Structure 1
Amino acid sequence: MVSLACHLEDGDTFVQKALQWAAQFDHVCYLDSNGYRDNYGNINVFVAVGAAASFLSDGQDTFTKLQRFLDAHPNTWVPGFLGYDLKNELEDLRSQHPNPAEFPDAYFFVPQYTLLIGQYNVEIKGADPQTIVQQIETTEITDEPLGFDGRLKYRMNRSTYFSAFANLQRHIRKGDIYEVNLCQEFFAEKATLNPLGAYRRLNEVSPTPFSCFFKFGEKYILSASPERFLSKNGTTLLSQPIKGTAPRGKNAAEDEQIKATLATNPKEISENIMIVDLVRNDLTRSAQPGTVKASELLQIHSFKQVHQLISTITCQIGEGISTTETIQNTFPPGSMTGAPKISAMRLIDQYENSRRGVYSGALGYFSPQGNYDFSVVIRTMLYNAENGYLSFHTGGAITDNADPEKEYNECLLKGKALFEVLKSQ
């Protein structure tokens, strides 16, 4: 493995050429922070292509086996994803719905080539990095047509959603749970799609800090996630759950008013604090005693499509806890389940009418330094080019005082960018 650092005259053009070049490989992970900067992530654009080795979940002891895979491939990048239905390995749970997208519960690969692209430089690792630079620089950026041919359908119609909503509120009033995330699927069967064209359009419509084009074989994940699930930096774990969503305003004055309303909305604040408590509890399982802290509560973050309420919780990792155990102890992301977590997940499977699969899971990478950074798989399109199944989910939190009409409309708002992409033929 050889490393090469180069100065770039035009970083933006190089990034687009690198994405075009990468898409030809059977294994691709392209991550773009879209210029969003915080104190916790330091990647601008990351590209990993080719698979020198790969890990595929077989449905048993996934986290233990993934740790063995990481131990066998140290000091390298390992991108991949963890699907929501891994919950069934961790708790006495099951998923009753079929898996038409046919994605596995987890998949990771050791890249043949990795690129870290900054604004003015790129670092490339691989067998012949100079040749990779030349290949990318001579790549022509093509205007990829979306090529979507299919009929988008609702898995859960309005009346079914309202019925599930009412049933879950009854469980809340009985004391079975106090918050739950109800999600619905939008899908197309035997559809055709140009995944690269769709991803580029999605990233244009909704640029987010955890934008991702992920490909393995004929399966694609096209993500515009704004939410960090969990990161590890040295001995520090950090989670940033999102609860609280509002649309962008038509002008600056309206936008500021919407932000002010969101910041003081009792329901949104209550939802966020409930999940903060859940995440704190999850992190305690991996933490040195007394180190779990909610360092930033109810911060408003603005994205092109929506405003979000985001909180930040950290801890220091306790001794003897492996890398994958720290993820296992907090999985699936609490913002996508509800609380108490196990009861909420059991009811989710009872009242939702589709399998979440990759959605509500985690997508990201392990780094050569033994760190990791994973987003929550939301605002994300899944496409299986082999059987033509295309899918995305949206959801929202139900509490005792939640309004079904408002929550249903919030689901549509969260899917706005994905609807726009598929309609932009």
Structure 2
Amino acid sequence: MKTIQNISDFKRKALHWANQFEVCCFLDSNDYKDAYSVYDFMIAANVHEELNCSTCNGFDQLKTFYAKHKQWVFSYFSYDLKNEIEDLQSNNPDGLNFPDLYFFVPKYLIAFKDGKAEVLIGNESVLDDIESLSFENKKQLRAIQISHRLSKDQYIAKVEALRNHIHRGDIYEVNFCQEFFAENAEIGPVHTFEALNQISPTPFAGYFKIYDQYILSATPERFLCKRGSRLISQPIKGTAKRSSDPEKDKAVKLQLRNSIKEQAENVMIVDLVRHDLTKSAVKGSVNVDELFGIYSFTQVHQMISTVSCELNPDIHFIDAIKNTFPMGSMTGAPKVKAMELIEEYELSKRGVYSGSFGYITPDGDFDFNVVIRSILYNSDNQYLSFQVGGAITYESDAEKEYEECLLKASAILQVLGGH
């Protein structure tokens, strides 16, 4: 363990050091204090063992992989693992071609907490290697020409069609998303992530490099974590743009807190999360710890609820992940019908977007985020993509939903220079 004097400098150097390897994962809380996070940031680098699969029994393979190693593993789950869980398909176009699931045991793992860096896997000398690292400072990012998969008129028509499904009683709520993309895009992934993390620092941010594929994430949302025998999920539903005027910003926050529409969206997803958790819970232990909490980030205020339970000791913790996946905040209710309509009305395969990445510890604890507010990039075919969406209910105004999408995309558009 080593005390670090210049924390931001060490963090930057650690990321650039990790990026030298073909695979690395950087998880950053950006100093947001959170009751369930163990470390301020973590860096996992280089592959000791890996599990890389598409069109396979991902969750079962993960159980076998984890049982074999019983070690720290860093990973992502793509949204399309839904097809293993339910009788669903993903036939929309995909320019990114990420595997459905990727897990790796790192050769190096450094965790940082309260000013101290600790090497959990690897030799202590790696800290000296990081501190002595020099790298090129932030390059000027070239503007990327961003295209919309949907025009505004097409988006509005699709929202109205989904509202008709709600009116007919097919669903109560659906998370409908649209893709923004760029072809022949050349970016420096580390510098792009640093710019995004600076403009929009969030508690579950991360950089995940898997060979030629990158996740650059400024997500504010936790999907699911396990601490001891307790499972905790923190769905987000409810977004309001911040104001630079403190009084107006206070009013915006209060308006979000008291919005009947946002509360209705949030409570539907809370009910869905409660239902999902009951599949893995000790009977009677599912609890809503916080309903309609308002949390402030650089760009937006968010309405976040916290739901928890005691994990039934007869249920494997990986099955607990499977039982709640994909997360309710990114699907809708009822969940399966909402996912069928997502496949029908969206034009792009979601892939890693609205999936999750994070880690599992040697003790079987874990922490996974929700992949939103994230740039996905394939450097091999130079395809860059990000998706944004929101909850559609019968009360939704399609025009306002479109504006909310642009708000959620604003930090990424600012970083990429595409307007």
Q: What is the TM-score normalised by the length of structure 1?
A: 0.97
* Counterpart residue number, 2:79: 84
6, 12, 16: which one aligns with 1:20 = 16
152, 159, 166: which one aligns with 2:153 = 159
Counterpart contact for 1:231–1:237, Cα < 8 Å:
yes
Distance 1:244 1:256, change over 3 A: same
Task: Write out per-residue CA displacement over residues 45-83 of structure 1, whole angstroms, 9 at most, x where no aligned residue.
Answer: 100000000011232211011011011111x21111000
Mapped partners of 2:264, 2:190: distance in 1? 39
CA shift, 1:98, in A, is 2.2
Partner SS, residue 349 of structure 1: helix
CA shift, 1:151, in A, is 2.1
* Counterpart residue number, 2:218: 224
Task: Tell me, yes or no, if structure 1 residue 97 matches structure 2 residue 92.
Answer: yes
Mapped partners of 2:384, 2:144: distance in 1? 9
Partner SS, residue 390 of structure 1: strand
CA shift, 1:413, in A, is 0.4
Code of the residue aligned with 1:122 in structure 2: it is A
Counterpart contact for 2:25–2:74, Cα < 8 Å:
yes
Code of the residue aligned with 2:40 in structure 1: it is N
Counterpart contact for 1:147–1:192, Cα < 8 Å:
no
Counterpart contact for 2:25–2:43, Cα < 8 Å:
yes
Partner SS, residue 324 of structure 2: coil
Mapped partners of 1:46, 1:127: distance in 2? 14
Partner SS, residue 400 of structure 1: coil
Distance 1:276 1:112, change over 3 A: same
Partner SS, residue 91 of structure 2: coil
Mapped partners of 2:37, 2:27: distance in 1? 12
Task: Tell me, yes or no, if structure 1 residue 58 matches structure 2 residue 54.
Answer: yes
Judge which range, 184-193 or 134-143, deviates more. 134-143
Code of the residue aligned with 1:411 in structure 2: it is C
Mapped partners of 1:146, 1:166: distance in 2? 41
CA shift, 1:17, in A, is 1.2
Counterpart contact for 2:24–2:44, Cα < 8 Å:
yes
Q: Residues 261-272 of structure 1 correspond to what in structure 2 (within 5 A)?
A: 261-272=255-266
Code of the residue aligned with 1:87 in structure 2: it is K
Task: Write out per-residue CA displacement over residues 127-156 of structure 1, whole angstroms, 9 at most, x where no aligned residue.
Answer: 4321x1221111124323254464210001
Partner SS, residue 129 of structure 1: coil
Code of the residue aligned with 1:233 in structure 2: it is R
19, 33, 36: which one aligns with 2:32 = 36
The RMSD of aligned alpha carbons is 1.3
* Counterpart residue number, 1:124: 119
Task: Tell me, yes or no, if structure 1 residue 67 matches structure 2 residue 63.
Answer: yes
Task: Write out per-residue CA displacement over residues 258-285 of structure 1, whole angstroms, 9 at most, x where no aligned residue.
Answer: 0010011111000000000000000000
Code of the residue aligned with 1:372 in structure 2: it is F
Mapped partners of 1:15, 1:406: distance in 2? 38
* Counterpart residue number, 1:46: 42
Mapped partners of 1:6, 1:286: distance in 2? 39
* Counterpart residue number, 2:103: 108
Mapped partners of 1:197, 1:307: distance in 2? 26
Task: Tell me, yes or no, if structure 1 residue 207 matches structure 2 residue 213.
Answer: no
CA shift, 1:27, in A, is 0.7
Code of the residue aligned with 1:257 in structure 2: it is A
140, 162, 171: which one aligns with 2:165 = 171
* Counterpart residue number, 2:326: 332
Counterpart contact for 1:146–1:194, Cα < 8 Å:
no
Query: Percent identity at matched positions?
Result: 47
Counterpart contact for 1:188–1:390, Cα < 8 Å:
yes
Q: Residues 230-379 of structure 1 correspond to what in structure 2 (within 5 A)?
A: 230-379=224-373
* Counterpart residue number, 1:415: 409
CA shift, 1:246, in A, is 0.0
Counterpart contact for 1:146–1:193, Cα < 8 Å:
no
Partner SS, residue 117 of structure 1: strand
Task: Write out per-residue CA displacement over residues 292-350 of structure 1, whole angstroms, 9 at most, x where no aligned residue.
Answer: 00110000000001000000000001121112100000000100001000000000100
CA shift, 1:212, in A, is 0.3
Counterpart contact for 2:143–2:416, Cα < 8 Å:
no
Deviant stretches of 4+, over 6 Å: none
CA shift, 1:99, in A, is 1.9
Code of the residue aligned with 1:218 in structure 2: it is D
Code of the residue aligned with 1:299 in structure 2: it is G
Partner SS, residue 218 of structure 2: strand
Partner SS, residue 216 of structure 2: strand
Q: What is the number of equivalent residue pairs in this alignment? A: 419
CA shift, 1:368, in A, is 2.2
Task: Write out per-residue CA displacement over residues 9-32 of structure 1, whole angstroms, 9 at most, x where no aligned residue.
Answer: 222221111111111111110011
Distance 1:280 1:135, change over 3 A: same
Mapped partners of 1:199, 1:10: distance in 2? 20
Code of the residue aligned with 2:192 in structure 1: it is A
Mapped partners of 1:196, 1:92: distance in 2? 38
Counterpart contact for 2:230–2:309, Cα < 8 Å:
yes
Mapped partners of 1:11, 1:227: distance in 2? 24
Mapped partners of 1:114, 1:126: distance in 2? 5
